[in-house]
């Protein structure tokens, strides 16, 4: 029996049927009917302190679980504030659904109060978006939105709902099918191409697995591990793919790219078969494209046909779900796992020898000092506490790169960061979303002093829910990554990068009713982190680190990834007269 209900209740009914448990949002004028319906609805609403953070929190929820994250904002400024989070989700292929209120249908286009062309503005920020002007369209659109967000290459979908739709009365008609004739999802992968891939791999003398966020999106970590072990090739995972292969896996040689490991970048450059799985040959990974993996035949598996050949033309393109493609590939390889010939087997052993030598030559090793806390030291201590198990929601900048280099992740969905868009202010709200999704998990919000100051309002959200998030501020007093570039490429002319005022952490956290502390001695580091973790509830730990440290290795912009700068320029010794 269908019950007469208003549009707002119908919208919540649709969300409930999609299994939504939690919405991150901020109310406003036109969403009043929705918030009225929420008042007595079992779906949990988390009031954030800024709409941008609603989108980031929804992303955090989605990144930590693989489920669709949901955020909600009112018309006009509410919707425009969401856009950074939408683009962020777009760039990293994160499934979220954003619900925005819109002014009444008859007022659209009249410069009504809090009106903005949300449908137009978010066209390029989303995988798909909708404007709902008729109540009878609402259920179909909402269910479509969830389907589109989660299927194929995941991404953000926005549903803009006019106030008259939220207020209108109607019956919920169950939606039995999604009919999107133009939305083609390629999952299986071409059998012939998969066979060619298997053959290419068996002939490879210097194979390298290059795995990315697609592995995590597809839930293909187990298949990846099986694959890597079957062919026993060295493997790199991108910034988005950290955790796809356990960091401690013997075949794992860390992250490639601008701040990747020496071994990863050298292996990329020298490989003869590059097996690219759920990656998009991002410029931060490839460096100068013309110099990237110059000897390699490329096998590229991706669910999005538009990614194939976008930056690097593959020799064996496979459009499909990387989980299914890997399963098929593993089956083929398991039938004849040995390399093609004795010569190939010998070449493989020599290849491993070289890769191990690179790894030993320039390992990613934390720098420590007795005088000051080195940022790498901080990461090593976080790593020690986490032991590959904690969720680390990172902000953007130097700390993100050091964490990516030095913190281990034993499983997917532990390392949450804004990879493609590089949105500062992401870390703290993403940690909020992740903690709601995984109340059982230890969650670190690992942020810089810059990004943290973009997110301070969310301390209110954390405090009001008593979320036991451990906020670790890597405070170097600078917008460190920008400073690093100014130092290295702009004659050390430090322009607008000094953050000379930072709030007293104890007082700031105290003002929100939880504990905060500042440390600056390396002797206090371990105990302070342990205290943060063992203290129930939220904790703000402000760690003052060496202000002048730069992230190495570093591939200068426009260089090939083998042209890494491995450490700070050494002072030139002037011969004494």
If the CB atoms of residues 3 and 496 are measured against other proteins, the closer one turns out to be: 3
CB-based contact 274:298 (threshold 8 Å):
yes
H or E element that contains 437: helix 427-437
CB of 417 to other proteins, least distance (A): 25
* Contact range with other proteins by CB under 8 A, out of 8-16, 209-217, 274-282, 459-467: 8-16
Under rule CB under 8 A, residue 1 binds other proteins: no
Q: Dig out the tokens for 169 from the structure.
A: 């009365």
Q: Which of 5, 13, 24, 51 is catalytic?
A: 51
Could you give phi then psi for residue 570, rounded to 5 degrees?
-80, 140
Q: How far apart (Å, rounded) are the C-alpha atoms in residues 261 and 564?
A: 9
CB of 99 to other proteins, least distance (A): 17
* Contact range with other proteins by CB under 8 A, out of 12-20, 253-261, 423-431, 445-453: 12-20
CB of 86 to other proteins, least distance (A): 15
Q: Dig out the tokens for 225 from the structure.
A: 């591990």
Residue 409 falls in the annotated catalytic set: no
Q: How far apart (Å, rounded) are the C-alpha atoms in residues 284 and 260?
A: 9
Q: Which of 21, 67, 114, 133 is catalytic?
A: 114
Under rule CB under 8 A, residue 182 binds other proteins: yes
H or E element that contains 395: none
Which of 185, 367, 385, 565 is in the footprint of other proteins by CB under 8 A? 185
CB neighbours of 327 closer than 8 A, spacing ≥ 6?
A: 223
State how beta strands 4-6 and 169-171 pair: antiparallel
Which of 39, 111, 176, 192 is in the footprint of other proteins by CB under 8 A? 176
CB of 38 to other proteins, least distance (A): 13
Residue 441 falls in the annotated catalytic set: no
Window 28-87: residues binding other proteins (CB under 8 A): 42
* Contact range with other proteins by CB under 8 A, out of 61-69, 171-179, 252-260, 478-486: 171-179
CB of 141 to other proteins, least distance (A): 11
Q: Give the residue from 203, 463, 423 showing the smallest Cα distance to 333.
A: 203
Residue 113 falls in the annotated catalytic set: yes
Q: DSSP string covering 256-288, please?
A: -STT--HHHHHHHHH-SEEEEES----HHHHBS
Which of 19, 536, 569, 571 is in the footprint of other proteins by CB under 8 A? 19
Q: How far apart (Å, rounded) are the C-alpha atoms in residues 393 and 159?
A: 27
How far from 266 is each of 224, 261, 362, CA to CA, in Å?
22, 9, 11
CB-based contact 138:7 (threshold 8 Å):
yes
If the CB atoms of residues 12 and 96 are measured against other proteins, the closer one turns out to be: 12
* Contact range with other proteins by CB under 8 A, out of 79-87, 181-189, 420-428, 536-544: 181-189
Q: Which of 379, 424, 454, 481 is catalytic?
A: 481
Q: Which of 127, 163, 328, 470 is catalytic?
A: 163
Under rule CB under 8 A, residue 143 binds other proteins: yes
Q: How far apart (Å, rounded) are the C-alpha atoms in residues 161 and 105?
A: 9
Under rule CB under 8 A, residue 219 binds other proteins: no
If the CB atoms of residues 133 and 465 are measured against other proteins, the closer one turns out to be: 133
H or E element that contains 471: strand 470-475
If the CB atoms of residues 179 and 353 are measured against other proteins, the closer one turns out to be: 179
Residue 203 falls in the annotated catalytic set: no
Q: Give the residue from 407, 471, 458, 414 showing the smallest Cα distance to 440.
A: 414
Q: Binding string, 111-140, against other proteins, x = CB under 8 A? A: --------xx--xx--xxx-x---------
* Contact range with other proteins by CB under 8 A, out of 162-170, 173-181, 500-508, 513-521: 173-181
Which of 178, 442, 482, 565 is in the footprint of other proteins by CB under 8 A? 178
Most distant CA pair in the chain: distance in Å?
A: 98
Q: Dig out the tokens for 398 from the structure.
A: 């130097």
Work out the angle between the directed axes of helices 375-386 and 398-406 (0-180°, nearest 10): 50
Q: Is 313 exposed, middle or buried (0-12, 13-18, 19+ CB in 10 A)?
A: exposed
CB-based contact 200:194 (threshold 8 Å):
no
Binding-site size for other proteins (CB under 8 A) equals 39
Residue 498 falls in the annotated catalytic set: no
Catalytic residue set: 51, 113-114, 163, 481
> Which residues here bind other proteins, judged by CB under 8 A?
3, 5, 9, 12-13, 16-19, 42, 119-120, 123-124, 127-129, 131, 143, 147-148, 172, 174-185, 304-306, 309-310
């Amino acid at each position: 029996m269908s019950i007469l209900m208003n549009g707002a209740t119908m919208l919540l009914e649709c969300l409930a049927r999609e299994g939504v448990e939690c919405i991150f949002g901020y109310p406003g004028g036109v969403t009043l009917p929705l918030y009225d319906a929420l008042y007595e609805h079992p779906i949990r609403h988390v009031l954030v302190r800024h709409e941008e953070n609603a989108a980031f929190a929804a992303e955090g929820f989605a990144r930590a679980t693989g489920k669709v994250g949901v955020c909600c904002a009112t018309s006009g400024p509410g919707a425009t504030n969401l856009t950074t989070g939408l683009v962020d989700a777009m760039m990293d292929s994160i499934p979220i659904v954003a619900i925005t209120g819109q002014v009444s249908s008859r007022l659209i286009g009249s410069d009504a109060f809090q009106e903005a062309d949300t449908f137009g503005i978010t066209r390029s920020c989303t995988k798909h978006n909708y404007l709902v002007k008729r109540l009878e369209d609402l259920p179909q659109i909402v269910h479509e939105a969830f389907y589109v967000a989660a299927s194929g290459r995941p991404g953000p979908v926005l549903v803009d709902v006019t106030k008259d739709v939220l207020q209108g009365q109607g019956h919920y008609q169950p939606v039995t099918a999604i009919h999107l004739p133009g939305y083609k999802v390629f999952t299986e992968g071409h059998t012939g191409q998969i066979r060619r891939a298997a053959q290419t791999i068996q002939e490879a003398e210097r194979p390298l697995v290059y795995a990315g966020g697609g592995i995590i999106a597809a839930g293909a970590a187990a298949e990846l591990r099986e694959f890597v072990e079957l062919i026993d090739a060295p493997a790199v995972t991108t910034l988005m793919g950290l955790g796809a292969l356990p960091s401690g896996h013997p075949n794992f040689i860390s992250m490639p790219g601008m701040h990747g490991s020496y071994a990863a970048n050298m292996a990329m450059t020298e490989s003869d078969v590059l097996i690219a799985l759920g990656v998009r040959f991002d410029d931060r990974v490839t460096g100068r494209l013309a110099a990237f993996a110059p000897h390699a035949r490329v096998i590229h598996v991706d669910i999005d046909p538009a990614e194939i050949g976008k930056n690097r033309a593959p020799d064996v393109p496979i459009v499909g779900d990387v989980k299914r493609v890997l399963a098929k590939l593993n089956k083929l390889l398991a039938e004849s796992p040995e390399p093609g010939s004795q010569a190939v087997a010998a070449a493989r052993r020599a290849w491993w020898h070289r890769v191990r030598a690179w790894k030993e030559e320039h390992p990613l090793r934390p720098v420590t000092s007795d005088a000051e806390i080195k940022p790498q030291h901080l990461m090593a201590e976080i790593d020690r506490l986490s032991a590959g198990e904690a969720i680390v929601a990172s902000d953007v900048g130097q700390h993100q790169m050091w964490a990516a280099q030095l913190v281990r992740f034993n499983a997917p969905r532990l390392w949450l960061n804004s990879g493609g868009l590089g949105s500062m202010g992401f870390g703290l709200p993403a940690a909020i979303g992740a903690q709601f999704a995984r109340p059982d998990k230890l969650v670190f919000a690992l942020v810089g002093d810059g990004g943290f100051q973009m997110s301070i309002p969310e301390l209110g959200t954390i405090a009001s829910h008593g979320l036991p998030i451990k906020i670790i501020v890597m405070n170097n007093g600078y917008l460190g990554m920008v400073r690093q570039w100014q130092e290295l490429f702009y004659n050390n002319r430090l322009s607008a990068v000094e953050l000379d005022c930072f709030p007293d952490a104890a007082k700031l956290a105290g003002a929100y009713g939880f504990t905060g502390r500042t440390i600056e001695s390396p002797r206090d580091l371990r105990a302070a982190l342990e205290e943060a973790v063992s203290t129930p509830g939220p904790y703000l730990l402000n760690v003052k680190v060496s202000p002048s440290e730069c992230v190495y290795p570093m591939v200068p912009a426009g260089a090939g990834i083998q042209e890494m700068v491995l450490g700070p320029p050494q002072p030139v010794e002037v011969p004494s007269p």
